[in-house]
Amino acid sequence: MQTDEQLKDIVRQKYSEIALQDKGTNMSSCCGAGGCSTEVYNIMSDDYTSLKGYNADADLGLGCGLPTQFAKIKKGDTVIDLGSGAGNDCFIARHETGDAGKVIGIDFTPAMIERARTNAEARGFNNVEFRQGDIEHMPIGANIADVVVSNCVLNLVPNKDGVFKEIYRVLKPGGHFSISDVVLLGALPEDLRKDAEMYAGCVAGAIQKEVYLELIKANGFENIVLQKEKPIVIPDDILINYLTKEQIQSFKTGSTGIFSITVFAQKPLTEKKSCCEPGSGCC
């Protein structure tokens, strides 16, 4: 069983390789992380090409949703993208914020940061910046962002509770997030769940849908809305690396489901004080 740091190292190494891959390779695998399928269809990613602000050079085909489409970004907003990759969601967010807004992408893979900065500089985007850092400890001050977005990233992070605490910290009161991620219904087969390669490929790092939504609520967010949900089907030629034919059949006909969800939630305008907080006068 890998430690949290070992899992992070696996993801960092894999996504350093992905930063140099083409979009077609990434889209035919699980978040680009190997096990490339010979079946010609996208396992997770949605089509960004119709969204304004889309830049093909920044689209590595790694997402599992379209969070910027649902994020209710307004002109002048400050937007933070968690796991910004080559900058695709940041550039779409920039189109929504306009010149008066600001977009900050955070990624802990140096190769991704370098590629994103190159893409931004080539387009003269002076209100988009990319910072290298861990989204469990964001290199950003408190109460900065109007909107936080993320696309198929939190499932890669061992400490998801810590990330939601950080999202709460960096959002302004009344700010909100729209996050696309991978979640589960039922238990993954053991060989699939414990494999480090599939962890980097988003699937083995996913948690139960109910647990995911409860983490959001437990961290103080309100107005939680499931904006989109779609099933994810892993092709047989990937599953065969982990399961027997009999196990694959059982997996497909069992109670386990793998889903992409896009979730919206808001930080309250005013902090809720604990009844027993010193000076509250209610205990």
pLDDT of the chain, 283 residues: tens digit per residue: 566 666 666 666 665 565 555 544 444 444 444 444 433 234 456 666 667 665 656 565 666 778 889 999 999 999 999 999 888 899 999 999 999 999 999 998 888 899 999 999 999 999 999 999 999 999 999 999 999 999 988 888 889 999 999 999 999 999 999 999 989 888 888 887 776 555 445 566 788 999 999 999 999 999 999 999 988 887 788 788 888 898 888 888 888 888 889 999 999 998 765 555 555 555 4
Q: Which residue type occupies 82?
A: L
- The pLDDT of residue 37 is 45
Q: How far apart are CA 204 and CA 196, in angstroms?
A: 8
C-beta separation of 179 from 79 below 8 A: no
Beta strand pairing status for 257-266 and 222-231?
antiparallel
Running DSSP on this structure, what letter comes out for residue 224? E
C-beta separation of 146 from 115 below 8 A: no
Closest CA to 105 of 150, 56, 161, 57: 150
Q: How far apart are CA 252 and CA 238, in angstroms?
A: 13
Running DSSP on this structure, what letter comes out for residue 29? S
Q: Which two tokens stand for residue 247?
A: 């196990």
Q: Which two tokens stand for residue 102?
A: 């600001």
C-beta separation of 216 from 224 below 8 A: yes
Q: Which two tokens stand for residue 237?
A: 């030629």
Closest CA to 38 of 244, 252, 239, 246: 239
Closest CA to 48 of 4, 89, 94: 89
C-beta separation of 225 from 265 below 8 A: yes
CATH number (3.40.50.150, 3.50.50.60, 3.20.20.10, 3.40.50.2300) of 4-181+213-228+260-266 reads 3.40.50.150
C-beta separation of 147 from 137 below 8 A: no
Q: How far apart are CA 24 and CA 153, in angstroms?
A: 19
Q: How far apart are CA 283 and CA 274, in angstroms?
A: 10
- The pLDDT of residue 2 is 62
Q: Which two tokens stand for residue 203?
A: 């699937």
Query: Cα torsion at 139, 142, 147, 149 (round to 10°)?
Result: 30
Q: How far apart are CA 208 and CA 220, in angstroms?
A: 19
Closest CA to 63 of 151, 176, 156: 151
Output the pTM of the full model.
0.81
Q: Coil, helix or strand for 78?
A: strand
What's the per-residue H, E or C state across 149-209? EEECCHHHCCCHHHHHHHHHHHEEEEEEEEEEEEEEECCCCHHHHHCHHHHHCCCCCCEEH
